[in-house]
Amino acid sequence: MQTSLNYILNEGLSLGLIQIDMNYNIVSINSFVKRHLKRDWKGLIGQNIFKMFPDICSRKKESYIHKVIEDGQANILSPFIHKYIIPFDIVKKNIVLPMMQETRIYPLHEDSIQTGALIIIRDMTEQILNENEIASLNMDLNAIRKVNQLIVKADGREELLNGVCSILINETDSLLVWIAELSDFGDIFVPIICKGEQSEIFMESVSSQPYLMPGLDITRHVIKTGEMAVSFRLENDPEFEKWWGFCKDIACQSTLALPVKCQGKVEYILHIHRHEEKSISQEILDLFSELANDISFCLDQFYNKEVRLEAEAILRTEKERLRITLRGIGDGVIATDKYGSVVLLNKVAEELTGWTEEEATGRHIGEVFHIINEYTRKPCFSPVQNVLKTGSIIGLANHTTLIARDGVERIIADSGAPIRDDYGQIIGVVLVFRDITQQSKMEKEMLKMQRLESIGLLAGGIAHDFNNILSVITGNISFAMTRWPNDAELQEVFSDVEAATHRAKDLTHQLLTFAKGGAPIKKIISIDGIIRESAKFVARGSNVRIIFNEPVDLKSTSADQGQISQVIQNLVLNAVQAMPEGGEISIDTANIEVQEEDGMPIKPGSYIKITIQDNGMGISSKHMEKIFDPFFTTKQKGSGLGLATAFSIVKRHQGHISVKSIQGEVTTFEVYLPSVEEMASDIIQKEINSHQGKGKILVMDDEEPLCKLLDRMLQKLGYNAHFANNGQEAIIKYQEEFNRNSPYDLVILDLTVPGGMGGKEAIKHLKEIDPNVKAVVSSGYSNDPVMANYLDYGFSGVMPKPVSMTEIVHLLKSILEQ
Amino acid sequence: MTDKIEDDKLDERSFDIIKEVINMGLGEAADALSQLVNARVIIKVPDVHIMDIKKAKTYIKNEVENLGIYIAQDFTGIIEGKTLLFYTQECGISLLNTIYGDKKKVQGITETGISTLNEIGNIIMVSYISAISNFIDGKIKFSIPNVSLEVSTLYFENLLNEMEELDKAIVVKNEMSIKSENIQGYLFVLLSFKNFLVVVKNLQKRVLGK
C-alpha cells in the first residue's frame, strides 16, 4: 500500500512535491520536480533547500517555509501574489517562461511530532496565461464596445480619434496610443494625438526628430500595404529596425500599427504600444483589426455626412440663388412636380395669380393657374399636362387669359418646359408667363389707329375727288340756272340740286377735316373754361345735368382751342344722346403723369386727363372696337364722324382718347392731352405787357362789334387800324395805300362775308397787287380747310374767332417780327 | 458550572476578552496582508457573535445570499476545533479586482483568483487562531486547509453539519478594504471549538489571572 502510494505520489501527480526536514534539507522530490529541474536531481537530496534554490531567499519567500517549520502553520501561496516559490522554467514555442505556481506548504508530523514540511507545487502557468488572455480579450472587447458606443455618438473626427486613444489607454493593456495623420499626397504623416503616461516622452522624440519619415518605418509599412503591422522589440526584425531605434526611450515591447481608412484610402495610422514581448494572440490582433475597421467605418460615415452636408449646403445655396433669381425676374414662374402639384411660385406669379407661394404649394396647378380663352371664355388645356405628355417645351395659345384668385383677368403670354433629373426623367414642369394685358391693349390701340389712319387716307382721297366732282356739279348747276332763269320749275329743281351739293360739300369738308385737314393751331391755353363752356353749350336745352370736378392747379396745355372745344362738344353730345331720359354727366379733369409701364399709346410725361362719364345706356362690347371709326353710328341721324373727329383731333395733339363702358350702366371717355408747366394766364399777361408794336393794319370784317373790339386791341398794342366791310373794299383800300407807297403792314381778312367777297377770294387779288402782302385769315369755323391750311391759300397766319388779346399779340409777333 | 456555556450566561467581561483577542488577530491579519499585497489593508469587524453552531447556520444563511469561496481548517492542541472562512461572491470579486488593479478587472472568480483568495483567507484565519493560541499560551497544530469554491449549498450545509458536534462558535463578520477602496460584501470567519468553556477559561486565566 505504502509502496503503491509512494509510486502514485512520485509518478502519478501533476503536482510538484518537495519534502524537507526540520533543517530545511531536501528529503525527497517527485518526478514532476525532477523533470522541471535544470540540473541533475540527485545532487539536491540532502541539500538545504535555500542553497539549492537561492531564488527563494533573493525573492524573500523563505519566511513562508520558516513559518511552517517553526510554527507548524500551513501556508498557501497564490501565483498572482508570489508568481512562484521554486524557480522552474516552462518552454512554450521556444519561449521560456517562469512557471507560475500555487504553492502549499504543510507541516509533516510523525507521531504528533513535526518532522518537516511538504511543499506542493501546482503549475498554473497555462491557467494564468489563459486567464490573462481572457482578461486581455475582455478588456479589448470592452474597449471595442466603448469605441462602438463612441462611434454612435461622436460628432466629428477629432472627438472620435481622441476618444479612441483615451479608451485604448484606459481600457486596454496598452502603454501608449497615438495616431498619425497622412497628408493628402500620402507621403507625409504627422502625429496628431498621443495618449498614455509616456506621451510626453514620445512627443519629445517626435519634436526632436524633424525628419521622422525614415524612422517610422512601421508607419510607412502600413501606408504601403494598407494592412496591420506588428513588431516586437526583441525580434530584432530588420524591417522595423529604425522603428525600435526611434522607440528606444519608450517602455514598450511591441507595437501594433493599424490603418484607419476613409473611402478605402489610408488617412490615419493608429499605433498601439504594448507590453507583450514575444507574441500577441491572434484573437487580440483580430480584435484590434476589427477596431480599426470600426473606426474606418465611422470615418466613412463622417465623410458621407460631410459630403451630404456639403451637397445640402450647395443645394440650399443653389435653391436660395434660384429663389432670389426667380423672385427677381419680371416674369411669373410656377414650378410643379410631375403630378402637377405646385412646388414653387415666384413673386410675379404671386401677384398675377393672387396666391402666395405658401398657399399655393401643394395645390394642383389648375387651382392656382386658372386660364381661359380670351374670346371663347372656355378653359384652356392645362399646359402642365401638355408638357408632361409631350415632354417638350410648349407655348400657350394666343388670347390666353389668366384669372387671378380675386377674379382679375390678365392676358398672358406663357411657355412651359419639363424639369428633368440627372437621368433625364421628367420630375416636374416649369411655367413662365407674363402679363401682356397692356401690351395687348397697346397693340389693339395701334391697330385701331392704323386702321383709322387708313380709313382717313381713304376717306380723304374720296372726299378730295368727290369735292372736285361736286365742284363740277355746282358750277354746272350755277350755269344751268343762268341759262334758264325764267323756268320756275327748273329753277326749283336746280336750287334743290344746288342745296344738296352744298350739303354734300359740307360733308366732304368734315371728312377732309377728319382725314388730313384741321392741323391744330396750338397755343398755350387753360382748358377748364373751354371744357365748361363747350359742355354747357351742347347740353343746353336737354335735361342732363353736368357735374364738373377740376383741381385748382390744373395745368395748361398747348392745343387748338377750337378743336379741343369740338372734341368736348362731340363727347358731351354723345353722352347727352346716350341719356334720352336725362341724367348726369360728370366731367373730371386732373393732372397726371403717364409712365412707360402704363402701357398707353402716348409718350410718358405730364398730361391733363379729362374724364367724361355718363350713366346712359352704355356701349356694347361689339361696338367698342368700332366706336371711333368714321361713319360708324348707332343713331338714325348721326353722321358717324363725331367721335372719329374727336379721335383724330386728340391724336393730332399727341394725346390719347379711350373709352370704357358697362352696357346699360355707364360710359366713360378719357382724353389725355399733354400739359405744359407754363400757365396760360401768365403768358397772356406777359405777352400783352411786353408787346408794343407799330404800323397800320387793315381789318376786313362785316361785323361791326368785332371791328370795334379789334380797333381797341390794336390801338392798345400800338397799331393803327383801318377797316373794310368786305373783300372788294379791302382790295380798294389796299390798292390805294400800296399806290401811295405805304402799304399796310398786315391785313386781317374774314374768311366768310355774307353777300360779299370773303377772305379766300380777296387774298388772291391782294397777292396780285402786292406779292409780299402779309395777310391773316380769320374765321369762326376753325375746321374749315382754309383755316387749317392757310399757307396753301396765301395767308401768313390764321386768327380763329373769337379772338383774344393774347392771340392777337401772338399773331402779330409771329408775323410782323419775322 | 456546566461544561457548556449558554449565550446569556457568558459574562460581559469574557465576551470583551474574546472581542479583544479577535481584534488583535485581525490586526495581525491586516499587517500580514498589507505586506503581502504591498498596500494598506484595513479590516473592520462590525459584528462578533458567540453562538451555538446550529444558530450559526441560521445566522450565516440570513446574512449571506450566495456563498462564494470557503476555506476550512481543523486545529488541535490545547484547544481543538474547526475554522471556516468564506467570502461572498461579491466580496471575492471585489477583493480580487482591488488587488489586481484596473488593468486586470475580473467579472468572475477564476482558478488564479481562488488561489489568491485562499491565501488571503488562510492568513486571516490563522491570524485569529494564532491570536487566541498566543493568549492561552498553548501550542495549536493546524491541519491541511480544505479549500473549495462553493458549488453546492448542500455541500456547504453538510460541512456545517459536521460542526454540530462542536460546542460554541465565534462568528466574526469582517469588512476589508485595500488602498482605501471600499469592498462590496463581507467575509466571515467562524471559529468553533470542541470545548468553548476551555477557551474561555484559558482566556480569563491569562487575562484576569484567575
What are the CA-CA distances from residue A154 to residues A145, A148, A181, A268, A310 (Å)? 14, 10, 19, 17, 19
pLDDT at B3 over 50: no
Residue where one domain finishes, among candidates A68, A93, A123: A123
Claim to verify: residue A175 and residue A244 sit in the same structural domain: yes
Domain count, chain A: 6
Angle (CA) A108-A113-A115 rounded to 5° is 45
With CB atoms and an 8 Å threshold, state whether B110 touches A124: no
Name the grid cell of A144: 471595442
Residue A215, domain CATH: 3.30.450.40
Does residue A317 form part of some domain?
A: no
Tell whether the torsion through CA atoms of B94, B95, B98 and B100 is positive or negative. negative
Q: Do B111 and A107 touch (CB under 8 A)?
A: no
Tell whether A634 and A708 lie within a shared domain.
no
Q: Tell me if A310 is assigned to some domain.
A: no
- Residue A315 domain-assigned (yes or no): no
Q: Which of B100, B107, B142 sits opposite A73 (nearest CB)?
A: B142
CATH topology assigned to domain B9-205:
Chemotaxis protein chec (3.40.1550)
Residues B72 and B146 sit within 8 Å (Cβ to Cβ): yes
Handedness of CA A454, A455, A459, A460 (dihedral sign): negative
Say if A316 falls within a structural domain.
Answer: no
Task: Give tens-digit pLDDT for A405-445.
Answer: 998 888 888 888 898 888 888 888 999 988 888 777 777 77
Q: Which of A72, A124, A138 sits opposite B112 (nearest CB)?
A: A124
CA A804 to chain centre: 60
Name the average pLDDT for chain A.
84
Distance CA A568, CA A575 (A): 10
Are B115 and A79 in contact (CB < 8 Å)? yes
State whether A611 and A663 are in the same domain.
yes
Q: Are residues A78 and A175 in the same domain?
A: no
Peptide bond preceding A802 in cis form (omega within 30 of 0): yes
Please give the residue range of the domain that contains residue A535: 523-676
What type of residue sits at position A469? I
Instruction: Judge whether A309 lies within some domain.
Output: no
Same domain, residue pair A507 and A548: no
Name the amino acid, one letter, at A331: D
When mean pLDDT is compared across A107-111, A710-714, B155-159, the lowest value belongs to B155-159
Enumerate the β-bridge partners of residue B193: B81
Domain of A6: which CATH number?
3.30.450.20
Q: Mark whether A424 and A345 lie in a shared domain.
A: yes
Q: Return the number of other C-beta atoms located less than 10 Å from residue A593's C-beta.
A: 10
Q: If pLDDT is split at 50, 70 and 90, which confidence band does A776 have?
A: very high
Contacts of B126 in chain A (CB under 8 A): 73-74
- Give the pLDDT of residue B66: 65
The C-alpha cell that represents A32 in the structure block: 514532476
Q: Determine the distance in angstroms separating the CA of A313 from the nearest CA of chain B, rounded to an integer.
A: 47
DSSP letter for A8, please.
I
Confidence of residue A221 (pLDDT cuts 50, 70, 90): confident
Q: Is there a single domain that holds both residue A139 and residue A264?
A: yes
Q: A644 near A630, Cβ under 8 Å?
A: yes
Whether residues A178 and A293 share a domain: the answer is yes
Rounded to the nearest angstrom, the minimum Cα separation between B143 and chain A is: 8
Torsion angles phi and psi, residue A85, rounded to 5: -110, -55
Region A583-598: mean pLDDT is 89
Q: Give the list of residues 6+ apart from residue A194 with CB closer than 8 angstroms, or none.
A: A165, A176, A177, A178, A179, A202, A203
Distance CA A121, CA A98 (A): 13
**Residue A788 banded pLDDT, cuts 50, 70, 90:** confident
Nearest-angstrom CA–CA distance, B156 and A441: 112
pLDDT of residue B149: 66
Q: Are residues A147 and A295 in the same domain?
A: yes
Residue type at position B187: L
**A102 chain-B contacts, CB cut-off 8 A:** 115
- b/e code A610-632 from CB counts within 10 Å (16+ = b): bebbbbbbbbeeebeebbbbbeb
Give the closest residue to A189 by CA, choosing from A293, A300, A269, A244: A269
A645-690 pLDDT per residue, tens: 888 888 888 899 888 888 778 899 999 999 988 776 555 566 666 6
Give residue A737's pLDDT band: very low, low, confident or very high (50, 70, 90).
very high
**pLDDT (tens digit per residue) in B128-144:** 888 888 777 667 777 76
Cβ burial, residue A715 (10 Å; 0-12/13-18/19+): exposed
pLDDT on residue A342 = 92
For residues A554 and B201, which has the higher predicted lDDT (pLDDT)?
A554
Mean of pLDDT values over A789-794 = 86
CB contact under 8 Å between A80 and B99, yes or no, is yes
**Cβ proximity of A680 and A484 under 8 Å:** no
- Are B111 and A131 an interchain contact pair (Cβ–Cβ within 8 Å)? yes
In a domain, A320, yes or no: no
The three three-digit cell numbers of residue A790, written as one number: 392757310
pTM above 0.80, yes or no: no
Q: Which residues contact residue A530 at a Cβ distance below 8 angstroms, ignoring those fewer than 6 apart?
A: A561, A564, A565, A568
CA distance A300 to A306: 10
Same domain for A759 and A794, yes or no, is yes
Taking CA–CA distances from A113, the nearest residue in chain B reads: B141
Contacts of B36 in chain A (CB under 8 A): 81
More confident residue, B9 or B147: B147
In a domain, A151, yes or no: yes
- Choosing from A474, A493, A515, the residue where a domain stops is A515
A124 close contact with B: CB closer than 8 A? yes
3-state secondary structure (DSSP) of residue A257: strand
Q: Which of A123, A155, A187 marks a domain boundary?
A: A123
> How many Å apart are CA B121 and CA B127, to the nearest integer?
10
User: Residues A316-341: what's their mean pLDDT?
Assistant: 85
Helix (H, G, I), strand (E, B) or coil at A157: helix
Question: Which of A17, A59, A69, A73 is most worth mutating to test chain B (most B CB atoms within 10 A of its CB)?
Answer: A73
Residue boundaries of the structural domains of chain B: 9-205
Chain B contact for A283 (CB, 8 A cutoff): no
Question: What's the pLDDT tens digit per position in B75-90?
Answer: 877 777 888 887 777 7
Confidence band for B8, pLDDT divided at 50, 70 and 90:
very low
Reported for A657-660, long-range contacts at CB under 8 A and 24+ positions apart, including other chains, are A657/A567, A657/A628, A658/A445, A659/A619, A659/A624, A659/A627
Residue A397 grid cell: 395659345
Do both A648 and A778 map to the same domain? Answer: no
Contact B73 A74 (CB under 8 A): yes
- Taking only residues 42 to 81 of chain A, the set having a beta carbon closer than 8 angstroms to any beta carbon of chain B reads 71-81
Question: CB A135 to CB B37 under 8 A?
Answer: no
**Could you tell me if residue A600 is inside a domain?**
yes
pLDDT for A746: 93
Q: Is A145 on the interface with B (CB under 8 A)?
A: no
Identify the CA nearest to A628 among candidates A616, A613, A643, A639.
Answer: A643
Asked whether A618 and A650 are in contact (CB, 8 A), the reply is no
pLDDT over 60 (residue B65): yes
Q: Within a 10 A sphere around the Cβ of B208, how many other Cβ atoms?
A: 10
State whether A378 and A409 are in the same domain: yes
DSSP B7-23: GGGS-HHHHHHHHHHHH
* Helices and strands in chain B: count of H runs, count of E runs: 6, 7
pLDDT at residue A1 tops 50: no
Q: Are A181 and A171 in contact (CB under 8 A)?
A: no
For the record, the C-alpha cell of A546 comes out as 353736368
